[in-house]
Every structure is written in C-alpha cells, then in structure tokens.
Amino acid sequence: MTIGYTFKTAVIGLKTHKSRSALTILGIVIGITSIILVMSLGEGMQNLILGQIQGQVGSRVIEIAPGKQPKGPSDFMSMFSDSLKQKDVDALSKKGNVPYLSRIMPMVFGSESAAYGNETYQATFYGMTDAAGSMYNLVVDRGRFLAEDDVKSYADVVVIGSKVKEELFANNENVIGEKIKIKGKNFRVIGILEKKGASLISFDEAMFVPYTTAQQYILGIKYFNHIIIEADTDEHVEQTVEDIKRTLRNTHDITGSEEDDFNVSSQADALEMVGTVMNIITLFLVAVAAISLLVGGVGIMNIMLVSVTERTREIGLRKAIGATEKNILFQFLLEAVILTGLGGLIGIILGSSLSALMAFILGKVLSLDWQFAFPLSGAILGFGVAALIGLVFGLYPARQASKKSPIEALRYE
C-alpha cells in the first residue's frame, strides 16, 4: 500500500467525522494560539521598551547610581544611599581621570506637588543642568531650557512638561513667565517641553529645575541621586565606564569591586538587561501556555481510542482484503498527525491575527509605538510540537487498531 493511498484513506476517515475531528484539535488550537500570542506580544513589548530607551537616552550616556548593583532584595535599599557627592563630580571631571568624558551632569529627583492659583498637580521633578536637553533628547516647544547660569546662581526657574502645563494652565496659553509654587517656593516658568506621548520615562508629567536649586530649596540634601556622564564617542563608552569605576573607587577608598557603593551602567547594559528580563518572562508564559498542548494531546488520544472502537469493522474489512498491521498503524498515526498539524496551523493563523489586532489597538488607543512582530521561530516550533504531540499521543490508539484480529473485527457489532 502506497503512502499516497494511506494519506488519502486517512483524510477520508477524518472527513467522515468532521465534528469529532474539530473537537479533537480544539486543545491544540488553543495551545498554539496562546503561544503565538504570548511570543508576539512579548517581542512587541521588548521592541517598544528598547526603542524608548534608545530614543530617550543617547547611546553615549552613562549613568552612575548610588549603592551596589542590585542582585537581590538585600541590595535594594542600598540604591537610596548618599554615596555620590560633589567630590566625586570634581574627580570625574578631571581629564586625567576620565579622558574620554565629554560632559558630566549631577542629578537629583523626587516627587512634589506644584500649585498655580487653585490648581495643583503632583509631578516628578528633576534637578539637572543644561546638558540634560541633549542627553535625554528633550525638545522645548516654547521658551527655553535650563542654562549654565541658572545652575550657578541657584535660580528659581522651572521647565515643565506638556501634561503639567495642561493640568496647571488649562485655560492659559501665555505660560512663560508665570510662577508656580513648589514646596512653598515660587518658581518662574521659563519653558514648556514638546509633548512626547507615552514612553518609558514620562517627561510630559515632569518638571525640570537647576540641580543646585533642587538640592537646597526642595530636597535639602548635599548628595546626588545620579551622576550622568556622556562619552565623546560610541567607541569610548566601554573604556569610559572602566575609568569611572576606577576613579570612584579611589575617591571612596575602595580596593575591590565587591566593596563598590555605586553602580555604573551604559545604554548597552540597559538594553541587555531589558532583553534578558523580557525573554525570561516570555519563556515562562510560553511554558504555561504549553500546558494546554499536553491537555490537547490527552484529548486526542482519548478520541482516537473511541474512533478505533467505532471503526472496528472497517479495520477488520481492510485486514481481510490484505492490509497489514503496519498499514493500519500508519493510517491511524497519520490521522493523528494530520489533526494536530492542522490544529497547529489554525493556531498560528489565529494567534497571529489576534496579535496583529492587539498591536493595532495598542498603537491607536494608547498611542504607543507598538509594532506587530510575527514570531517565526515560535510558529515553526509550535507547528513542530503540534505534529510531535500527534505522533506521541496517537501512537497508542494506532497500535490498538493494528493489533485487532480481522475475524473478531468483522464480527463486531
């Protein structure tokens, strides 16, 4: 008996019981759809986050944060230490210590309520310098950004995001020059940022003041939450990171990396960390979704056993006219693989369609730069696993069918 004839016989057998065949592959369809959906959305989210990091932070920007690199819950509180001081900024600013440094910017931040007349708005504030504009790709829509003189003179000036403007000055377009109150002190509005929309760091909901002013009048501290450094070229970023670590260890009297009370990260580090985290989350969700494939496999085995019982006379007749045990085994095994393979194909199409629809909704409704990503590796893997499940879970029913005695099968009522 040829393979082509066996395949044709298997297809006829499946067509004869269309409803049962459809119910049989339902578990496989749900499982593959879930896997494609999770992998597609996971890849889309990863691309969105990576794109926002690359768009918001320049590729040459290096961030220094207090506390050691968090590796567990016990390291989390160290992130709030006061280990970064003015002496660190002075040491890092020396060309001999960090030769490839282009610019350096101390930073402090927090959350405070801003008030104008009867309107109030809780916003994140950043104490920065004029370098923040280019480092974080901030574009001023009206007015100007912070200047070097503002930092030196402890100026009571503020640049506000578009959302802050909408909340405090809803009916006032002549905002430049107006004063808002932050922690009991009046700050003159000198600029409004261009609207950036939904992003990893919501600058639309932020206020920017000179870091010297923020330290003295808002926070009352003499240390920094971050120190931001920009290397002169992309090629020198890695070397600059090493120079920063060496310099800070000298200023902090640290002899080994295990004693570091600071952590240094570049954009490449942030991209790698985000990619790793997203891949772990996606794999976990895929593993959960794959459980439904096992359930679907058990369902296929049960229904194939029922099918073997119902088709006992058919099996006896085929054996009586010359079909071997191998022919019967191959036919029923082929039916199981065709069913699961078809279920996998339907699941891929359905999962991709739902992913594309959700990407469209997220892009239009939430104004996110969310692009549909078709997980080719997931589709190939899903289809292969579906066929494998048919092979594994269809083997037992197929063997049961092939072992039936033709005489007993023909007597079966």
CA pair distance 15, 11, nearest whole angstrom: 6
Residue 172 CB neighbour total at 10 angstroms: 12
Nearest to 386 by CA among 13, 14, 36: 36
| Residue 383 vs residue 140, higher pLDDT | 140
CA distance readout (Å), 300 to 33, 315, 329, 339: 17, 19, 16, 9
CA pair distance 286, 65, nearest whole angstrom: 34
pLDDT digits (tens, 9 = 90+) for 40-58: 888 888 777 666 665 556 6
Mean pLDDT on 135-143:
88
Mean pLDDT on 369-376:
80
**Contact predicate 68/260, CB 8 Å:** yes
Give CA torsion, residues 202, 206, 212, 215, to 10 deg.
-90
Single-letter code of the amino acid located at 154: Y
Q: Report the phi/psi class of residue 21: left, alpha or beta, with left for phi > 0 and alpha for psi in -120 to 50.
A: alpha
CB neighbour list of residue 294: distance below 8 Å, 6 or more residues apart: 389
Phi, psi (degrees; rounded to nearest 5) at 141: -80, -45
The pTM assigned to this predicted structure is 0.61
CA pair distance 141, 356, nearest whole angstrom: 34
Q: pLDDT-based confidence at 332, cuts 50/70/90?
A: confident
Instruction: Locate 210 and state its tokens.
Output: 């000179």
**177: exposed, middle or buried (C-beta count within 10 Å: 0-12, 13-18, 19+)?**
exposed
pLDDT digits (tens, 9 = 90+) for 212-225: 999 999 999 999 99
Percent of the chain with pLDDT over 90: 30
**Contact predicate 271/54, CB 8 Å:** yes
pLDDT at 78: 47
Nearest to 361 by CA among 3, 105, 128, 41: 41
pLDDT at 77: 45
pLDDT digits (tens, 9 = 90+) for 340-366: 888 888 888 998 888 888 888 877 776
pLDDT digits (tens, 9 = 90+) for 146-189: 999 999 999 999 999 999 999 999 877 789 999 999 998 999 99
Q: What's the chain's average pLDDT?
A: 81
